Every structure is written in C-alpha cells, then in structure tokens.
Structure 1
Amino acid sequence: MYTTVFITAPDRESGKKIARHILDRRLAACVNMSPVSSMYWWDGKIEEADEVLLIVKTSADKLEELIKEVKSVHPYQVPEIIALPISGGYREYLKWVERETHA
C-alpha cells in the first residue's frame, strides 16, 4: 500500500529541511514542493499565509514514523500532515516507491 502525504511549511527553506530529513531516513521516495496561498482558522480568526506544500510519496507502513519525524523538525505548533491512500498508478513507479522506502 502506498500513501501521498500533504505537509505545509512556512517557506521553501523549511520545506527543504523537512524534505531532506524524511528522505535521509528513507521515509519517503520523493517529495515535491510547490508554493501555495493558504487561508485557515487559527486562534479564533481567519489567517492568510504564503506557504510551501510538500507532496510526499511513501509506503503506508512508514506513515506513523514519518509523522513523528516531521513533527520533530517542523516549525509549526500544529503542522498539517494529511495522508491520502494511493489507490492505483503506474506499477513501476509504485515499485520504485516501495524500493526506496525499504532500502
């Protein structure tokens, strides 16, 4: 089973730090980063922020450890870490995700 994990970070530098941290630990095979504009509730009011969205491809059995490691280096008090199952895809790519997260 495979999972895509969305993580937001305050800026590219923080996003790269998080990505490198989880890649170094083989908790992800690939991390894409893209700028996003976010609006969200925080402390009773609507906030707006420019952030970086990390799109992480990993094996489902790595999810709990990935969450733990992201929380250990993430600058936010309550970081967004949302996992969605990958229900299908190019078989060779998914095999590569498996190999890289279990090396």
Structure 2
Amino acid sequence: MFSVVYIISRDMEEAGRIADVLVAERLVACVNFGIISSVYRWEGRIQRDTEVSMLCKTTTERVLDVIKRVKEIHSYELPCITSWKLEDGYGPYLEWVKAETEKGR
C-alpha cells in the first residue's frame, strides 16, 4: 500500500532540506513542494503566513518513520505532518516508489 505525507514548512530552504533528507534516507521516493498562503489560529491569534506545502510519496509502511524524522529536523514547534493512503495509481510509478523506499537498499 502507498501513502502521501503532507508537510508544511517555513520556507523553500527548509522544504528543500527536509526533502533532501527524506529522499537520501529512502524514507520517500519523491517530494513536490511549492509556496502557499496559510491562515490559522496560533496562541489565540489569527495568523497569515506564506509557507511551503510538501507532498511526499512513500509506502504506507514508511509513514511513521517519515513523521519521526521530520519531527527531528523541522523548525516548527508543532509541524503539520499528516498522511493519507492512496487507493489507486499508475502501477509502474507505484512500483518505482516501492523500489526507492525499500529498507536496506
């Protein structure tokens, strides 16, 4: 089974650093990221920020490892790290994701 891990980071530099670590350590096969606008409540106040949204493709088996690693290297006190399972997809691409995230490879 396959999953997408969704992460919000402070800026493009941090997103690139997180992506490099996750791909280098074979926790994810691929990361797409881009600038977004965020509105949220933090410490009782409405905040508006420019942040970076990250979509990380991996196997469901690796999701908890991804979450743990991102928490170790993320600058936010309470980072957004969520995931959802993929129900379907292009078979050859999913096989590539599986191969790129195999432990011990």
Number of corresponding residues: 103
Measured in 2, the distance between the counterparts of 1:41 and 1:61 equals: 32
How many Å apart are 1:44 and its aligned residue?
Answer: 1.0
Unaligned runs of 5+ in 2: none
Q: Give 3-state SS (helix, strand or coil) of 1:28's partner.
A: coil
Instruction: Indicate the SS of the match to 1:6.
Output: strand
**Aligned equivalent of 1:30:** 30
Give me the CA root mean square deviation. Answer: 0.7
Give the secondary structure class of the aligned counterpart of 1:78. Answer: coil
Q: Partners of 2:67 and 2:25 in 1: how far apart?
A: 12
TM-score normalised to structure 2 length: 0.95
User: Quick check: 1:98 aligned with 2:88?
Assistant: no
Structure 1: which 4+ aligned runs deviate by more than 6 Å?
Answer: none
Over the matched positions of the two proteins, sequence identity in percent amounts to 38
1:42-53 pair list within 5 angstroms = 42-53=42-53
Aligned to 2:54: 54
Name the SS of the counterpart of 2:92 in structure 1: helix
How many angstroms apart in 2 are the aligned matches of 1:78 and 1:29?
Answer: 25
Q: How does 1:2-17 map to 2 (within 5 A)?
A: 2-17=2-17
Is there any run of 5+ residues in structure 1 with no aligned partner, and where? Answer: none
Cα deviations across residues 42-92 of structure 1 (Å, max 9, x unaligned)?
101111110111100000000111111001110000000010111101000
Q: Distance in 2 between matches of 1:22 and 1:72?
A: 12
Tell me the residue number matched to 1:39: 39
